[in-house]
Chains A and B, each alone.
Chain A
Amino acid sequence: DVKVTQSSRYLVKRTGEKVFLECVQDMDHENMFWYRQDPGLGLRLIYFSYDVKMKEKGDIPEGYSVSREKKERFSLILESASTNQTSMYLCASSLRDRVGDTIYFGEGSWLTVV
């Protein structure tokens, strides 16, 4: 079975804290993604990576950064958490450049910034 594992299911952080969300996939996928999901706004792409040490901005990268030092691991970093970053964060992965490649999602990380 495919597996995308997010390190924390629920987190509560204070405004201004640095927050790390970790994601690991065991499918040897080249592509990895971070989304956030908010009521009424659907899933919005924050960043994606198509290879180790490579990253591309998605639709809403402001306030976030990412790190991909190993193929299986993709980290999302909130440099200075703010209350408007309270959301559900979803990590996903897929194979690269295959027609019809499927994206697989993790279980999600619920972040509350107080």
Chain B
Amino acid sequence: DAKTTQPTSMDCAEGRAANLPCNHSTISGNEYVYWYRQIHSQGPQYIIHGLKNNETNEMASLIITEDRKSSTLILPHATLRDTAVYYCIVRSTGGFKTIFGAGTRLFVKA
């Protein structure tokens, strides 16, 4: 599975959009981009995933660049409950050994 690079931490004002970047320059053609988040003391929660098209669900939007070497997770209206560590990972079919790096600590402030 390709490695990802994310900023260590970010701040966001409550009610504003949170844009979390991820670099995955070594991604291969059959690898999907996944985003998870982990609120303190809980298991990682699935947010969204995509291959090359932009995706949106009730939680977030995922924007993947045309060359697929980077992506951005967008939380459109961040709340205090969105304070968490956000993980960007890439994996392919049968990619059992999913690698979770350090992620980005997002602090949403009132």
- A interface residues, Cβ below 8 angstroms from B: 4, 31, 33, 40, 42-43, 45, 48, 50, 56, 58-59, 88, 90, 92, 96-108, 110
Contacts and interface: CB of A to CB of B under 8 A. Distances in A.
B54 to A, nearest CB: 15
B43 A45 contact: no
B96 A48 contact: yes
6 contacts: A43-B100, A45-B96, A50-B96, A58-B97, A102-B49, A105-B36
Contacts of B102: 40, 42
A98 to B, nearest CB: 7
Contacts of A90: 43-44
Contacts of A88: 41
B46 A104 contact: yes
Given A31-B96, A33-B96, A50-B96, A100 B49 contact: yes
Q: Tell me whether chain B's interface is mostly helix, strand or loop, or mixed.
A: loop
Interface of B: 30, 32, 34, 36, 41-46, 49, 51, 92-94, 96-103
A96 B94 contact: yes
B96 A99 contact: no
A42 B49 contact: no
Contacts of B97: 45, 48, 58-59
Nearest to B43: A105
A107 B39 CA distance: 10
A54 B15 CA distance: 47
Contact of A100 (B32, B36, B43, B99): B32
A4 B43 CA distance: 10
Contact of B98 (A99, A103, A107): A103
